[in-house]
Structure 1
Amino acid sequence: MRTRDLAQAALLVAIAMILRTLTPPLVLGMKPDVTLAMMFIILIIKRDIKLGFLVALSTGLFTALTTTFPGGQVANIVDKLLTFIIVYNLIPVITKFASKRIAAGITTAVGTIISGSLFLTIASLLVSLPAPFVVLFTTVVLPAAVINTVTAVVLFSVVNFAMDIEYNQAENKAV
């Protein structure tokens, strides 16, 4: 893992946290987790398991600090790490059949559903849910998956473009 990759990932996680704070709640004060979309984008672009673990851990910690879900701190950390493990192993399969931009959308849709399911399951084991699992899944997780998917496709294009510019500038300096 290069220092440049770590710095870029940290910047992208910070941007995701800012977007998270600006995102309005959907139901019962719960918000779509834009940090997930950014985590998946970083995993697709960088394909580094150590960096991915650090991004998942930092994303989990930051979302735990800012959660509005009662008792959602532990659930956020555990859900991000488990989601990272699952999605990291799905990405090569998805990118084999789709462009990276399409893969970002598919990965985010699937990953958000996995993450939301894990979060609700873990939270239900630790504290009581404010509504039945199915209600929360259909009113929060599924809309969040749609919002995150659109966000990921747009953000992926921006991030990938910025990375290409940086790569080309570094290549020109080397010449």
Structure 2
Amino acid sequence: MKIKNYIITALMLAMGFIFHATIPGIAGMKFDLLLIFMIMAIILNPDIQNVIVSGLGGGIITALTTTFPGGQIPNFIDKIITALFIYALIEIMKNFKNDTIKSAILVGLGTFVSGSVFLSTAYFLVGLPAGFSLLMISVVIPTCIANIFMGLFVYKAITIATKRAITH
């Protein structure tokens, strides 16, 4: 992998970290904005090495900044699984032409997988503050919807920035 790609991935994870660390949690849960940037890093460079780096980096960062009691291991596990899921989905969607819609699908499904894996892992390791179904409906689904819109905004900003960087 080229050093340029590592730098882009590092920048994506750093921006995700800033958003993840500054957005307050609600009742021990917080929207995982780092996830959007991790997915964008994978979209920008869908190389298996980058996927692993992004998943590990995202997992470490969210484990360090989680507000969920005992959420360190579930965060780490969910980011690695989600990164690999996104990679597989990108491979499946290779012939899909509309990159904007593709990014929305990747962010939406990635958020759903991440939330599901996080809650499942947390359930078995440390327990949940409410029922699994209630948390899926009240946290994961709204986060999926919010992340789709925020992900489209971030994707558009990245697209504009990369076009300008190439032309200058």
TM-score (norm 2): 0.94
Letter in 1 for 2:100: R
CA contact (8 A) 1:30 1:68 kept: yes
Query: What stretches of structure 2 of length at least 5 have no aligned partner?
Result: none
TM-score (norm 1): 0.90
Letter in 2 for 1:41: M
* Partner SS state of residue 153, structure 2: helix
By how many angstroms is 1:95 displaced?
Answer: 4.7
Q: Which moved more, 1:44-53 or 1:65-74?
A: 44-53
Aligned: 1:137 with 2:136: yes
Say which structure, 1 or 2, has more relative contact order (CA 8 Å, 6+ apart).
Answer: 1
Larger Rg: 1
Aligned to 1:35: 34
CA contact (8 A) 1:94 1:107 kept: no
After superposition, residues 147-158 of structure 1 pair within 5 angstroms as 147-158=146-157
Aligned: 1:64 with 2:66: no
CA contact (8 A) 1:87 1:107 kept: yes
Aligned: 1:16 with 2:46: no
Separation (CA, whole Å) in 2 of partners of 1:74 and 1:161: 36
Aligned to 1:49: 48
* Partner SS state of residue 96, structure 1: coil
* Partner SS state of residue 65, structure 1: helix
| 1:34–1:95 distance in 2 versus 1, CA, 3 Å | farther
* Partner SS state of residue 95, structure 2: helix
Aligned: 1:123 with 2:130: no
Query: What stretches of structure 1 of length at least 5 have no aligned partner?
Result: 170-175
Aligned to 1:146: 145
CA contact (8 A) 2:58 2:79 kept: yes
CA contact (8 A) 2:12 2:40 kept: no
Separation (CA, whole Å) in 2 of partners of 1:32 and 1:82: 18
Separation (CA, whole Å) in 2 of partners of 1:142 and 1:98: 26
By how many angstroms is 1:98 displaced?
Answer: 4.3
Give CA-to-partner distance per residue, 1:84-107, whole Å, 9 cap, x none.
Answer: 111210113335234111111111
State the superposition RMSD in angstroms.
1.4
After the TM superposition, list the runs of 4 or more consecutive aligned residues in structure 1 that deviate by more than 3 angstroms.
none
The total of aligned residue pairs comes to: 168
By how many angstroms is 1:59 displaced?
Answer: 0.7
